[in-house]
């Protein structure tokens, strides 16, 4: 597929895609005309915050409650009648089985009723392809390297075309988002913890505390040691001073955030040096992190690369990115069938 398909200056396609995302704890629906987003509705699920993480059974029940109003709102906001749709795209994986089933069943039923094609989208590829949604940013040129950092995944991907991606490295245990969320849980902050750590870090001294740096070969990551060193530091300091967390919250967040971001970018630097690719991109929920966005731009500058950092609306889970990936699959005629089943552990 040519790089031109994703360009902002490409001819607007008449293709109208309704996209549905339900892989984890956000129910989202979007309508896209070509690479232009006409609507992108996201319903979050506050029900999980008191448990400090996503409870799968509660997530699928909430998806069932949200999906009809969210799709109706997406169509209404786009000013599109369902009879005008060209296809329906849905997230086929990876994600939580119960959550994926709600979106998949809804998409299949609607496509069957409307007699239009169905497009089964890989959630992680969609995070990357969100860069081709029309916005004020230029899309990356192929090939590019994408650091994809979310609540469940951390990967460095070489992207040669929308349907040609190679994972150069990935985490061997926890994801970067989990490293933020679990640290936030230790600090008694709510879920998801990443945005709260980011906010608290703004006022803190990022040099106060040090954490373990994993030694992993190649372009892979490991976050379990980072997370454990965080837990041990907090436990040790709390024994000496029960008010340690409340008195030092901003410094703890700033130091931990600096450490996680530096580690993410050390491995990314390795990938840039090895591949000599000159275009680098960020994707996934953690790409909303202010420190990561800032340091990523500096990393690109240092290496003479162009940096592609997604608008906030397309960092965390959203259906617009599913629609963008679906658009490429529509052009390639990569149709799904009514017998397509969700794949919780889908890889590339
Ligand atoms: O991509 P995403 O919305 O869902 C998954 O596919 O997992 O990513 C969610 C993750 C959570 O771990 C959340 O804490 C993290 O993204 N996140 C952040 C920020 N905003 C979201 N992490 C650090 N800083 C942020 N500003
Ligand atoms: Zn995601």
Where do the domains of the chain lie, and which CATH numbers do they carry? Answer: 3-133+314-331 (3.30.420.40), 144-309 (3.30.420.40)
The three state secondary structure string of 32-85 is: EECCEEEEEEEECCHHHHHHCCCCHHHHHHHHHHHHHHHHHHHHHHHCCCHHHC
> Which residue minimizes the CA distance to atom 20 of ligand 1?
195
CB 146 within 8 A of CB 123: no
Determine the pLDDT at residue 2. Answer: 35
User: With left for phi above 0 and alpha for psi between -120 and 50, is residue 188 left, alpha or beta?
Assistant: left
pLDDT at 7 over 50: no
Per-residue confidence band for 47, with pLDDT thresholds at 50, 70 and 90 = confident
Determine the pLDDT at residue 48. Answer: 85
Give the model confidence (pLDDT) of 211-224 as tens digits. Answer: 999 999 999 999 99
Give the model confidence (pLDDT) of 275-302 as tens digits. Answer: 999 999 999 999 999 999 999 999 999 9
Q: Rounded to an integer, what distance in angstroms lies between the CA atom of residue 122 and that of residue 105?
A: 16
Determine the pLDDT at residue 11. Answer: 55
pLDDT at 1 over 70: no
Q: Rounded to an integer, what distance in angstroms lies between the CA atom of residue 133 and that of residue 112?
A: 27
Residue whose CB lies within 8 A of the most ligand 1 atoms, among 92, 126, 150, for a mutation test: 150
Give the model confidence (pLDDT) of 305-335 as tens digits. Answer: 999 999 999 999 999 999 999 999 999 999 9
Q: Rounded to an integer, what distance in angstroms lies between the CA atom of residue 221 and that of residue 267?
A: 8
Q: How high does pLDDT run on average in the chain?
A: 95
Distance from the alpha carbon of residue 285 to the mean position of ligand 1, in angstroms: 3
Give the model confidence (pLDDT) of 122-178 as tens digits. Answer: 999 999 999 999 999 999 999 999 999 999 999 999 999 999 999 999 999 999 999
Determine the pLDDT at residue 187. Answer: 97
Nearest 5°: the CA angle 143, 146, 150 is 160
Determine the pLDDT at residue 45. Answer: 87
Nearest alpha-carbon partner for 56 in 19, 101, 91:
101
Determine the pLDDT at residue 6. Answer: 44
Question: Given the CA of residue 26, which atom of ligand 1 is nearest to it?
Answer: 3
Q: Rounded to an integer, what distance in angstroms lies between the CA atom of residue 218 and that of residue 271?
A: 8
Distance from the alpha carbon of residue 21 to the mean position of ligand 2, in angstroms: 9
Mean pLDDT across 98-121: 98
Mean pLDDT across 101-113: 98
Per-residue confidence band for 31, with pLDDT thresholds at 50, 70 and 90 = very high
Determine the pLDDT at residue 13. Answer: 52
Determine the pLDDT at residue 293. Answer: 98
> Which residue minimizes the CA distance to atom 16 of ligand 1?
285
Determine the pLDDT at residue 277. Answer: 98
Mean pLDDT across 247-262: 98
Q: Rounded to an integer, what distance in angstroms lies between the CA atom of residue 84 and that of residue 17?
A: 9
Mean pLDDT across 36-41: 98
pLDDT at 4 over 70: no
The pair of structure tokens assigned to 255 is 């130091």
Give the model confidence (pLDDT) of 80-101 as tens digits. Answer: 999 999 999 999 999 999 999 9
Nearest alpha-carbon partner for 59 in 123, 103, 110:
103
> Which residue minimizes the CA distance to atom 22 of ligand 1?
194
310 ligand 1 Cβ < 6 A = no
Q: Rounded to an integer, what distance in angstroms lies between the CA atom of residue 107 and that of residue 118?
A: 7
CB 17 within 8 A of CB 330: yes
């Amino acid at each position: 597929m040519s790089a031109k398909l994703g360009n902002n200056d490409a001819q607007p396609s008449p293709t109208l895609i309704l996209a549905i995302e339900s892989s984890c704890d956000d129910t989202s629906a979007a309508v896209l005309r070509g690479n232009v987003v006409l609507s992108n509705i996201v319903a979050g699920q506050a029900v999980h915050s008191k448990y400090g993480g996503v409870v799968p059974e509660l997530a699928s029940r909430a998806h069932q409650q949200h999906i009809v109003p969210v799709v109706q709102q997406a169509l209404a906001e786009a000013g599109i009648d369902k009879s005008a749709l060209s296809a329906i795209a849905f997230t086929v994986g990876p994600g939580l089985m119960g959550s994926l089933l709600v979106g998949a069943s809804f998409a299949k039923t609607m496509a069957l009723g409307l007699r239009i094609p169905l497009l089964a989208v890989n959630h992680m590829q969609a995070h990357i392809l969100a860069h081709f949604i029309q916005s004020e940013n230029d899309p990356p040129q192929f090939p590019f390297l994408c650091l994809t950092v979310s609540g469940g995944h951390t990967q460095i991907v070489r992207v040669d075309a929308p349907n040609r991606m190679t994972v150069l490295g990935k985490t061997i245990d926890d994801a970067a988002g989990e490293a933020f969320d679990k640290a936030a849980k230790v600090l008694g902050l709510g879920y998801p913890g990443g945005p709260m750590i980011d906010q608290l870090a703004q006022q803190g001294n990022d040099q106060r505390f040090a954490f373990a740096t994993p030694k992993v070969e190649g372009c892979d990551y490991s976050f379990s040691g980072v997370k454990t060193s965080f837990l041990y530091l907090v436990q040790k300091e709390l024994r000496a001073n029960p008010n340690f967390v409340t008195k030092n919250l901003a410094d703890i967040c700033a130091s931990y955030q600096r450490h996680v971001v530096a580690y993410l970018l050390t491995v990314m630097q390795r990938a840039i040096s090895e591949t000599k690719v000159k275009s680098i991109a960020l994707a996934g929920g953690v790409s909303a992190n202010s420190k990561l966005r800032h340091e990523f731009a500096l990393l690109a500058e240092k290496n003479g690369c162009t940096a592609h950092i997604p608008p906030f609306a397309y960092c965390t889970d959203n259906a617009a990115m599913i629609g963008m990936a679906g658009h490429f699959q529509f052009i390639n005629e990569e149709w799904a069938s009514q017998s397509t089943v969700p794949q919780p552990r889908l890889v590339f």
